[in-house]
Structure 1
Amino acid sequence: MFTYLNPDIRQQLIDTGKLLRIDRDGTPVNGETTMLADAAAPRADATAPRADEGVINLLGPIPLPLKMGGQSYQADWYAAVRSAELQKVEELAATLRESGGQNRFATLATSMAVNSVLLIGDAGNADNPLVRVHSNCLTGDVFGSERCECGPQLESALGRISNDPDGGMIVYMAGHEGRGIGLWAKAATYLLQDAGENTYQANQSLGLPTDSRDFTDAAALILFFLGDRPMRLLTNNPKKIEDLSAAGLTQMTIEKHVVGVSKWNKRYLSAKQSWGHKIGDSDIAK
């Protein structure tokens, strides 16, 4: 595993506690070096489920000064990826080395979704930290699109958590573009929406789930950093609440997180409202 890292650096990161693995319950996995070697070894039955299928590899902390919306913040960044995803990179790297395709190593990045944790303040010791599980949205988070409220939600969460006495964390889910359908399909749904469908109907027209996101990794990361303690979750999404609760987070207080309403996304927010999101008529009327 981690073949794109120099093995000496990889071992150094393990020895210094900067690279570790946690299971679905957020518990550190023992025998790190041995398990990495076992994971990289060929398997007799490649179709059989991996023993470490749900194990998450965690790299950090990395001090990260942030500036968003004209405000400066400080966070500790952790990168997180499933062992199964890293195994795909291992196999692709071996193929590229054998074929002499060194110039194609950039394709390694397309094989795995690397989630992020931004830990802010002393959240691990706080009585009631703020938590935001944020699905990545290139158009909203990066381009500043007003077709959704994702960018303002991320910016608001960062500000609220940084200014809160208890601090908290943001879990940024990299594989969640378009509620899990990916950027290419999301672009198609935008064209369908412009033709009259709402965001959920557009997914269905493409033969895709209305929401295929998986929040189990987010729950494992929260359990690792905070444990199952009282926390305040910034969300309007009942599916997120249900998934995190089912994964072991039992002491969440839900705080509404409606920001970024504009004339461009009111129809989108209305569709979310009809799908059960905790968005009131007065919220959309802003």
Structure 2
Amino acid sequence: MARKHNRRANKRSQSVDIKEYAQKVEIVFRTFPTRKFNYKQIASQLGYKPEMVKAKVEMALSDLMQSGKILMVDRGKYKLKYTATYAEGVVDMASNGNGYIVSPDVESDIMVRAPNLMHALNGDRVKIGLFATKSSKKLEGEVIEILERKQTDFVGTIEIGKGHGFLVASSRKMLVDIYIPKAKLGGAENGQKVIARITDWPEKASSPFGEIIKVLGNAGDHNTEIHAVLAEFGLPNEFPVEVESAADELDTSIKEEEIAKRRDFRKVPTFTIDPADAKDFD
């Protein structure tokens, strides 16, 4: 009788132990709701050596499957069974208008089709709702909230029509034009390079509304194009007075001792295809 009692006690103890493991394993799946795990990866997440807990983890996985909380999607691989899952990430726009959300909690990028972007732009940090898909398909979702705009100022060319204009952005990742009302053109002329700032984007509007905040100059002009590139990448084209003064005081002459180290081609006829104001000569 004592042996039988001990076997029953051990069985109850093992059952409690597996339930505790199942709870820990479930937490792993809910922490990473779109990932697939095998028993080794689960053990690693729990901080155990796989060979030490293989049987317990496998029984915990079996328990979670029977309760309908996880699915086996590949041989030996499981993922959370869900009806609605959310994730956060950064938008990477494709040339076809679709976006791909890069998230640290998901193994692969999540595709969001153009109609489901909810006015999100390249680089924006967003919250998305994942669509329930079969395991063989790629993850898809829709943007449900824009958490943070990466940028609102864009460099491009202004195209002016009757009573309004559109900023056609220079960046290939900015796929929509910015609508500029006539009162917000800031003196810009058709075809000039400018910087526009998005001020609003009505829910049903296909383009954001904006204003011209700076006219860079005529497209094709050397200085204009340089300033346009600097502005596009957020680099300064103006510096404080004290910095300019310090730069002017720098001695840029070539000393005789330096000339002695070089081979002198100053008397050799030399031609270049670049203009006099180029930053380097070919």
Q: Which is strand-richer, 1 or 2?
A: 2
| TM-score bracket for this pair, using the shorter chain length | under 0.3
TM-score normalised by structure 1 residue count: 0.22
Q: RCO greater where, 1 or 2, for CA within 8 Å and sep 6 or more?
A: 1
TM norm structure 2: 0.22
